[in-house]
Structure 1
Amino acid sequence: MQQVSAELVEWLQNEIGRGCRPEVLIESMIKAGYEADFARNVINASFASLEALEGKRPNVLGANLEGTLKINTDPLPGNFIKTSDRDVQVLLNMQSPRIMLFGGLLSDEECDGIIEFSRAKMARSHVVDSDAGGTREDEARTSTGAAFQRGETALHTRIEKRISELLGWPVEHGEGLQILHYNIGGEYKPHYDYFHHDRPGEAEQLKTGGQRIATLVMYLNDVEAGGGTIFPELGLETMPKKGNAIYFAYGGMDGTLDSRSLHGGAPVERGEKWIATKWIRQRPYQLT
Structure 2
Amino acid sequence: MAPASRPVGSIALLITVIAVVAPVLYRFASPYLAILSPYLASLSLSSIAKTFSSNPQVEHPPSSSSFSCLPHTYTTEIVSLDPLLIYIDSFLSPAEIAALLAAGEPAFAPSRVYKAGRDRGTADRTSSSAALPREDPAVSCVLARAETFLGALLDPARDDIGPPQLVRYTAGQRFNRHRDWYERPQPARKGMRGRGRTWNRVASFFAILQDGCAGGETWFPLVNATTTASVKTDGPDNGAGRRFWRTHEDGGLAFRPVAGNALFWVNLFANGTGDERTVHAGLPLEDGLKTAMNIWPRKFYA
TM-score by length of 2: 0.59
2:47 counterpart residue number: none
Pairs aligned (count):
194
Instruction: Go from structure 1 to structure 2 and tell me whether the alpha carbon gap of 1:154 and 1:208 turns closer, same or farther (over 3 Å shift).
Output: farther
- Higher deviation after alignment, 87-96 or 136-145: 87-96
1:192 counterpart residue number: 179
> Higher relative contact order at CA 8 Å, sep ≥6: structure 1 or structure 2?
2
Tell whether the 8 Å contact from 2:103 to 2:136 is kept in structure 1 after alignment: no
Q: Does 1:145 align with 2:129?
A: yes
SS of match in other structure, 2:166: strand
Matched-pair identity in %? 26
1:129 counterpart residue number: 115
Query: Whole-Å Cα distance in 2 between the matches of residues 271 and 226 of structure 1?
Result: 9
Query: Cα deviations across residues 67-120 of structure 1 (Å, max 9, x unaligned)?
Result: xxxxxxxxxxxxxxxxx9222111443211100010001011211221122111
SS of match in other structure, 2:148: helix
2:296 counterpart residue number: 279
Tell whether the 8 Å contact from 1:88 to 1:104 is kept in structure 2 after alignment: yes
Q: Please list, as runs of the form range in 1=range in 2, the aligned pairs for 1:66-215 lying within 5 A after superposition.
A: 85-130=71-116, 133-149=117-133, 151-168=134-151, 169-170=153-154, 173-197=160-184, 203-204=186-187, 210-215=199-204
Query: Whole-Å Cα distance in 2 between the matches of residues 223 and 92 of structure 1?
Result: 26
- Higher deviation after alignment, 153-162 or 140-149: 140-149
Report how far residue 223 of structure 1 moved: 3.3
| Structure number, greater radius of gyration | 2
Query: Whole-Å Cα distance in 1 between the matches of residues 198 and 179 of structure 2?
Result: 18
1:153 maps to amino acid: D
Query: Whole-Å Cα distance in 2 between the matches of residues 268 and 243 of structure 1?
Result: 19
Q: Please list, as runs of the form range in 1=range in 2, the aligned pairs for 1:25-44 lying within 5 A after superposition.
A: none
Report how far residue 224 of structure 1 moved: 2.6
- Higher deviation after alignment, 135-144 or 102-111: 135-144
1:255 counterpart residue number: 272
Query: Whole-Å Cα distance in 2 between the matches of residues 211 and 224 of structure 1?
Result: 32
Query: Whole-Å Cα distance in 1 between the matches of residues 119 and 83 of structure 2?
Result: 28
Report how far residue 242 of structure 1 moved: 0.5
- Higher deviation after alignment, 90-99 or 270-279: 90-99
1:217 counterpart residue number: 206
Tell whether the 8 Å contact from 1:194 to 1:211 is kept in structure 2 after alignment: yes
SS of match in other structure, 1:211: strand
TM-score by length of 1: 0.62
Query: Cα deviations across residues 153-191 of structure 1 (Å, max 9, x unaligned)?
Result: 111111110111112145751112110111101110011
Query: Cα deviations across residues 29-56 of structure 1 (Å, max 9, x unaligned)?
Result: xxxxxxxxxxxxxxxxxxxxxxxxxxxx
Query: Whole-Å Cα distance in 2 between the matches of residues 106 and 216 of structure 1?
Result: 12
Query: Whole-Å Cα distance in 2 between the matches of residues 109 and 189 of structure 1?
Result: 31
SS of match in other structure, 1:141: coil
- Higher deviation after alignment, 202-211 or 235-244: 202-211
Tell whether the 8 Å contact from 2:103 to 2:132 is kept in structure 1 after alignment: no
Query: Whole-Å Cα distance in 1 between the matches of residues 160 and 270 of structure 2?
Result: 13
Report how far residue 137 of structure 1 moved: 2.2
1:117 maps to amino acid: A
5+ residue gaps in structure 2? 1-69, 190-195, 224-251
SS of match in other structure, 1:220: strand
Query: Whole-Å Cα distance in 2 between the matches of residues 145 and 177 of structure 1?
Result: 10
Query: Whole-Å Cα distance in 1 between the matches of residues 112 and 274 of structure 2?
Result: 23
SS of match in other structure, 1:277: strand
5+ residue gaps in structure 1? 1-83
Tell whether the 8 Å contact from 2:162 to 2:296 is kept in structure 1 after alignment: yes
Query: Whole-Å Cα distance in 2 between the matches of residues 242 and 87 of structure 1?
Result: 15
The structure that is strand-richer by fraction is 2
